[in-house]
Amino acid sequence: MQAINQSGIPSAGTARGPAAVRTSGKNGAMRILVAEDEAKARRYLAEGLQEHGFSVALAEDGDEAMALVRSQVFDAVVLDVMLPGSDGWTIIQAMRAHAIRTPVLFLTALDGVEDRVRGFELGANDYLVKPFAFAELVARLRNLFRQAEFAQESAILNVGDLVIDQLNQRVSRGGRPLWLAPKEYALLLLLARHRGRVMSRALIAEGVWGIHFDTQTNLVDVAVRRLRSKLDEPFPARPMLRTVRGAGYMLDVDAD
């Protein structure tokens, strides 16, 4: 793929097959949500990203995009500004307000300095103007992925008095070590990386065990109870691991 015009469609090239379907990340592929209302542009973006090894989910309007970012975990979101329903500005505001920290790359024909500034001020991680070179889009996405990996793997993660040393896989609260089983650690790390966000049982099952959630099993609830017994019950401070009835679980220093 070469240069892309303002509609997001390659300026030259042969026609391609049917649009890509929504997929889940496989074999460690970076999971990208593409929110683009023009069908041809959406198809070319999906197919081009898949050719470069990404796993792609598609949204054709802002409301669908918002529903997907709330119900699934992505490594990045490629977001147009001028979408039907909720526009891109509204979507990123809602994401950040709900503690959804997924990196966002705006891909839009809006090329004014004021538009770029507004995007970054609302919480965007990158901004690419149409027309664009597809290789640059791929490079920018991979850069976002590297930044996220570096932050996750090298940094000490703090949530209140909870400290997670991700390099050595050590956890302490209030200076007291916590001895966690591997799945308990994976569950805590998932919740901590998305602190303040309600994580559904389906998201937890996929993120910790790599499986689709079966409503007939209490696997997630049992793991949460075990983690809570080590994370919250031994400490007099307000519990951090909160159950949001009918929605899932959330880790938050201000949880009730």
Name the residue ranges covered by the structural domains of the chain: 3-152, 155-251
Confidence of residue 129 (pLDDT cuts 50, 70, 90): very high
d(CA 54, CA 76): 11
- Burial (0-12, 13-18, 19+ Cβ within 10 Å), 175: exposed
Tokens of residue 205, six digits: 């099952």
Task: Count the neighbouring beta carbons within 10 Å of the beta carbon of residue 237.
Answer: 11
Nearest to 110 by CA among 148, 79, 137: 79
User: Beta strands 3-4 and 132-133: pairing type?
Assistant: antiparallel
Fold adopted by 155-251 = Arc Repressor Mutant, subunit A (1.10.10)
Residue 42 has pLDDT above 70, yes or no: yes
Give the predicted TM-score (pTM) of the model. Answer: 0.64
Fold adopted by 3-152 = Rossmann fold (3.40.50)
Per-residue pLDDT tens over the stretch 56-103: 999 999 999 999 998 888 999 999 999 999 999 999 999 988 878 889
d(CA 121, CA 92): 10
With a CB cutoff of 8 Å and minimum separation 6, the contacts of 81 are: 87, 88, 89, 106, 108, 110, 115, 119
d(CA 207, CA 218): 16
Average pLDDT, the chain: 84
